[in-house]
């Protein structure tokens, strides 16, 4: 049996970036509407509907379960923000919640067969840039413009500042994208195994991928989202206490 026979059904496996739905030019910049953008719109719409549903018709005395859930979510985020950043950063609650929700749902859409938005480096990079802007703003607010610029006398500080968003975005992207690649490879291999054993139906793809998906999609997706918001909060909060 030759190796080429082993991959009888699927000759080669390819993991690419997000597909482009359409593209247009705006102010000379080529804007692509990619798979990622469409899925993230879907996530935003779904989350908005979910929030509207949860907080619809709230009463002083909670009569509906969904109100209890909404209150629980808000209180959990508030507590997390308060414990990690301190009381004065209470207004960061919505940002942290939105970041966490976007990240975890972006990773979890792979469960329904869509491409994870977080497996696109542009997505994690833009979140990291947002957090980076907030971190730098917090630093400028804490030290003043002069004090902030003074910290760059040591050029290593510039590297350290820039490495923050880069490491944050690559960590998140790498975990999700790596998981996606491994899942694809496993599928490929199992399909190949089924074909090699003269099974037209790839029966080996039942079972093992589900277990792996539990780790790569659920656990990893949750962990990365959590790490991302924790790092954001810690960096913002530490801007003031570093003095």
Partner 1 sequence: MLEFLSIDIGTIIFTICNLLILVWVFKHFLFGRVYKILDERQNDVSETYAKADEAMEHAKSLESEYTGLMEGAKEESAEMIKAASKKAQQRSDEIISDAKNEASAILAKAGEDVEREKKRAQNELRGEISELAVLVAQQVVEKEITEADHERFINDFIENVGDLK
Site for partner 1, rule CB under 8 A: 15-20, 23, 29-34, 36-37, 40-41, 43-44, 47-48, 51-52, 54-55, 58-60, 67, 70-71, 73-74, 93-95, 97-99, 101-102, 117, 120-123, 125-127, 129-130, 177
What is the smallest separation between the CB atom of 230 and partner 1, expressed in angstroms?
17
What is the smallest separation between the CB atom of 240 and partner 1, expressed in angstroms?
22
What is the smallest separation between the CB atom of 208 and partner 1, expressed in angstroms?
24
CB atoms within 10 A of CB 180: 19
What is the smallest separation between the CB atom of 197 and partner 1, expressed in angstroms?
31
Q: Which C-beta is closer to partner 1: that of 52 or that of 145? A: 52
Are the CB atoms for 179 and 216 separated by under 8 Å? yes
What is the smallest separation between the CB atom of 194 and partner 1, expressed in angstroms?
27
Nearest to 216 by CA among 169, 241, 240, 182: 182
Burial of residue 14, with CB atoms counted within 10 A of its CB: 0-12 exposed, 13-18 middle, 19 or more buried: exposed
Q: Which C-beta is closer to partner 1: that of 62 or that of 144? A: 62
**What's the rounded Cα separation, in Å, for the pair 60 and 62?**
6
Locate tokens 């804007």: which residue?
31
Token pair in block for residue 27: 């102010």
Q: Which C-beta is closer to partner 1: that of 15 or that of 234? A: 15
Q: Which C-beta is closer to partner 1: that of 31 or that of 208? A: 31
**What's the rounded Cα separation, in Å, for the pair 80 and 169?**
22
H or E element in which residue 212 lies: helix 208-213
What is the smallest separation between the CB atom of 21 and partner 1, expressed in angstroms?
11
**DSSP tag of 111:** G
**What's the rounded Cα separation, in Å, for the pair 47 and 242?**
36
**What's the rounded Cα separation, in Å, for the pair 71 and 54?**
9
Q: Which C-beta is closer to partner 1: that of 64 or that of 141? A: 64
Q: Which C-beta is closer to partner 1: that of 177 or that of 225? A: 177
């Amino acid at each position: 049996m030759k190796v080429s026979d082993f991959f009888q059904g699927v000759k080669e496996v390819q993991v690419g970036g997000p597909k482009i739905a359409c593209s247009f030019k705006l102010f000379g910049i080529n804007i692509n509407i990619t798979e990622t953008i469409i899925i993230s719109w879907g996530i935003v719409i779904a989350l908005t509907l979910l929030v509207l549903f949860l907080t619809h018709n709230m009463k002083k005395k909670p009569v509906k379960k969904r109100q209890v859930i909404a209150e629980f979510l808000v209180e959990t985020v508030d507590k997390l923000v308060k414990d990690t950043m301190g009381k004065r950063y209470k207004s960061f609650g919505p940002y942290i919640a939105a970041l966490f929700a976007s990240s975890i749902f972006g990773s979890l859409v792979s469960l329904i067969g869509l491409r994870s938005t977080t497996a696109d480096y542009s997505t994690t990079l833009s979140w990291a840039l947002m957090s980076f802007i907030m971190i730098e703003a917090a630093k400028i607010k804490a030290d003043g413009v002069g004090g902030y610029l003074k910290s760059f006398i040591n050029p290593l500080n510039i590297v350290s500042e820039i490495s923050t968003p880069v490491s944050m975005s690559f960590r998140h992207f790498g975990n999700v994208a790596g998981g996606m690649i491994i899942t694809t490879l496993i599928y490929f291999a199992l399909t190949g195994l089924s074909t090699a054993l003269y099974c037209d139906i790839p029966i080996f793809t039942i079972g093992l991928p589900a277990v792996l998906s539990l780790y790569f999609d659920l656990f990893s997706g949750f962990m990365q989202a959590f790490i991302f918001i924790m790092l954001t909060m810690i960096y913002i909060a530490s801007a003031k206490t570093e003095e």
